[in-house]
Amino acid sequence: MAALLKVEGLSIGFGNAAHVVDDVSFSVEPGETLALVGESGSGKTLSCRAALRILPAMATVHSGSVMLDGPKGPVDLMGLSERAMCDIRGNRVSMIFQEPMRSLSPLHRIGNQVIEVLRLHGTAKGQGARKRVFETFERVGFTNPERVFQSYPFELSGGMRQRAMIAMAVVGKPDLLIADEPTTALDVTTQAQVLGLIKEIQQDTGMAMVLVTHDLGVVANMADTVTVMNRGRVMEAGPAPLVLGDPQHGYTRDLFAAAPKIPESGEDAAEEHDRDYILEMRNVSKTYTLKGKAAWHPKIHVQAVRGIEFGVERGKTLAVVGESGSGKTTCARMALGAERADPGAEILFRPKAGAETVNLQDLDNQARLAFQRQAQMVFQDPYSTLNPRMRVKDALCEPMDIHGIGTREERVDRAAEMLRWVDLSPNMLTRYPHAFSGGQRQRLSIARALMLGPTFLVCDEPTSALDVSVQEQVLQLLEDIRDRLNLSYMFISHDLAVVARIADEVAVMRDGLVVEQGTTEALFHNPQHPYTKALLAAQPEPDINRPINLKIVAQGAGDPSTWPEAYRFDGANVPPLTKLGVGHKVRYYA
Partner 1 sequence: MSILPDGRYVDDKPYETDIGEEARHAELDMSNTRLVWRRFREHKLGLVSALFLLFSYLMLPFAGFISPYTANERAPDHLYASPQGIHLFHEGKLIGPYVYPITANVNLETFSWEYEADYDNPARLEFFCEASYYKLAGLFKTNRHLFCAPEGATIFLLGADRLGRDVFSRILYGAQLSLTVGLVGITVSFVIGIVLGSIAGYFGGFLDWIINRVIEILRSLPELPLWLALSAAVPSHWSPVAVFFIISIILGILDWPGLARAVRSKFLSLREEEFVRAAEMMGAKPSRVISKHLLPNFLSHLIASATLSIPAMILGETALSFLGLGLRAPAVSWGVMLNDAQNLASIEIYPWTAIPMLPIVIVVLAFNFFGDGLRDALDPNRS
Among 120, 348, 390, 405, binds partner 1 (CB under 8 A): 390
- State the nearest-atom distance from the C-beta of 427 to partner 1, in Å: 8
**Do the Cβ atoms of 541 and 220 come closer than 8 Å?**
yes
- State the nearest-atom distance from the C-beta of 503 to partner 1, in Å: 23
Amino acid (1-letter code) at residue 500: A
Among 387, 476, 486, 561, binds partner 1 (CB under 8 A): 387
Among 206, 239, 263, 344, binds partner 1 (CB under 8 A): 239
Among 388, 559, 565, 572, binds partner 1 (CB under 8 A): 388
- State the nearest-atom distance from the C-beta of 438 to partner 1, in Å: 10
- State the nearest-atom distance from the C-beta of 415 to partner 1, in Å: 14
- State the nearest-atom distance from the C-beta of 381 to partner 1, in Å: 6
CA distance readout (Å), 558 to 100, 143, 376, 524: 20, 14, 35, 21
- For 136, counting Cβ atoms within 10 Å of its Cβ (0-12 exposed, 13-18 middle, 19+ buried), the class is buried
The residue among 199 and 431 lying less far from partner 1, judged by its C-beta, is 431
- State the nearest-atom distance from the C-beta of 144 to partner 1, in Å: 35
**Do the Cβ atoms of 45 and 180 come closer than 8 Å?**
yes
Say which residues have a Cβ less than 8 Å from residue 277's Cβ, sequence separation at least 6.
Answer: 311, 312, 313, 314, 348, 350
Closest CA to 538 of 581, 576, 508: 508
**Do the Cβ atoms of 548 and 540 come closer than 8 Å?**
yes
Say which residues have a Cβ less than 8 Å from residue 499's Cβ, sequence separation at least 6.
Answer: 319, 321, 491, 493, 506, 520
The residue among 40 and 287 lying less far from partner 1, judged by its C-beta, is 40
Q: Quick one: which segment of 123-131, 176-184, 384-392, 581-589 binds partner 1 (CB under 8 A)?
A: 384-392
Q: Quick one: which segment of 195-203, 207-215, 386-394, 492-500 binds partner 1 (CB under 8 A)?
A: 386-394
Measure the CA–CA gap between 187 and 60, rounded to whole angstroms. Answer: 35
Binding mask 391-430 for partner 1 (x = CB under 8 A): ----x--xx--xx---------------------x----x
- State the nearest-atom distance from the C-beta of 462 to partner 1, in Å: 11
- State the nearest-atom distance from the C-beta of 222 to partner 1, in Å: 18
- State the nearest-atom distance from the C-beta of 470 to partner 1, in Å: 8
Among 202, 380, 519, 520, binds partner 1 (CB under 8 A): 380
Q: Is 138 helix (H, G, I), strand (E, B) or coil?
A: helix
Dihedral angle at the C-alpha atoms of 203, 209, 27, 241, nearest 10 degrees?
-60
Measure the CA–CA gap between 109 and 154, rounded to whole angstroms. Answer: 10
236 binds partner 1 (CB under 8 A): yes
Measure the CA–CA gap between 580 and 587, rounded to whole angstroms. Answer: 10
Backbone angles phi, psi at 136, to 5 degrees: -65, -40
Among 83, 291, 293, 434, binds partner 1 (CB under 8 A): 434
Please state the three-class secondary structure of 412-472 as a single string. Answer: HHHHHHHHHHCCCCHHHCCCCHHHCCHHHHHHHHHHHHHCCCCCEEEEECCCCCCCHHHHH
What totals of helices (H) and strands (E) does the chain contain, helices first? 20, 22
Amino acid (1-letter code) at residue 574: V
- State the nearest-atom distance from the C-beta of 23 to partner 1, in Å: 9
The residue among 192 and 386 lying less far from partner 1, judged by its C-beta, is 386
Binding mask 89-118 for partner 1 (x = CB under 8 A): ------------------------------
Among 67, 188, 284, 377, binds partner 1 (CB under 8 A): 377
342 binds partner 1 (CB under 8 A): no
Among 201, 237, 334, 477, binds partner 1 (CB under 8 A): 237
Among 70, 338, 561, 570, binds partner 1 (CB under 8 A): 338
- State the nearest-atom distance from the C-beta of 61 to partner 1, in Å: 21
Among 47, 91, 162, 372, binds partner 1 (CB under 8 A): 372
* Stated length of the chain: 590
Question: How many residues touch partner 1 (CB under 8 A)?
Answer: 51
- State the nearest-atom distance from the C-beta of 460 to partner 1, in Å: 9
Q: Quick one: which segment of 29-37, 57-65, 383-391, 548-556 binds partner 1 (CB under 8 A)?
A: 383-391
381 binds partner 1 (CB under 8 A): yes
Q: What sections of 259-391 are H helices per DSSP?
A: 328-335, 365-374
**Do the Cβ atoms of 213 and 37 come closer than 8 Å?**
yes
SS3 content of the chain, % helix, strand, coil (to 5): 40, 25, 40
What's the maximum distance between 2 C-alpha atoms anywhere in the chain?
81
Closest CA to 174 of 51, 61, 55: 51
- State the nearest-atom distance from the C-beta of 148 to partner 1, in Å: 31
Among positions 451-480, residues that touch partner 1 (CB under 8 A) are 452, 469-470, 473
The residue among 249 and 340 lying less far from partner 1, judged by its C-beta, is 249
Provide the 8-state DSSP code for 155: G
The residue among 148 and 281 lying less far from partner 1, judged by its C-beta, is 281
The residue among 84 and 338 lying less far from partner 1, judged by its C-beta, is 338
Dihedral angle at the C-alpha atoms of 270, 275, 279, 282, nearest 10 degrees?
90
- State the nearest-atom distance from the C-beta of 369 to partner 1, in Å: 5
Element (H, E) at 477: helix 468-485
Q: Quick one: which segment of 79-87, 261-269, 322-330, 378-386 binds partner 1 (CB under 8 A)?
A: 378-386
Among positions 243-302, residues that touch partner 1 (CB under 8 A) are 243, 248-251, 254
The residue among 440 and 528 lying less far from partner 1, judged by its C-beta, is 440
Give one word for 257, left, alpha or beta, with left for phi > 0 and alpha for psi -120 to 50: alpha
- State the nearest-atom distance from the C-beta of 562 to partner 1, in Å: 35
Measure the CA–CA gap between 186 and 320, rounded to whole angstroms. Answer: 18
Q: CA 289 from chain center: how many Å?
A: 28
The residue among 424 and 508 lying less far from partner 1, judged by its C-beta, is 424
Contact footprint for partner 1 (CB under 8 A): 233-239, 242-243, 248-251, 254, 336, 338, 368-369, 372, 376-377, 379-381, 384-390, 395, 398-399, 402-403, 425, 430-432, 434-435, 437, 439-440, 445, 448, 452, 469-470, 473
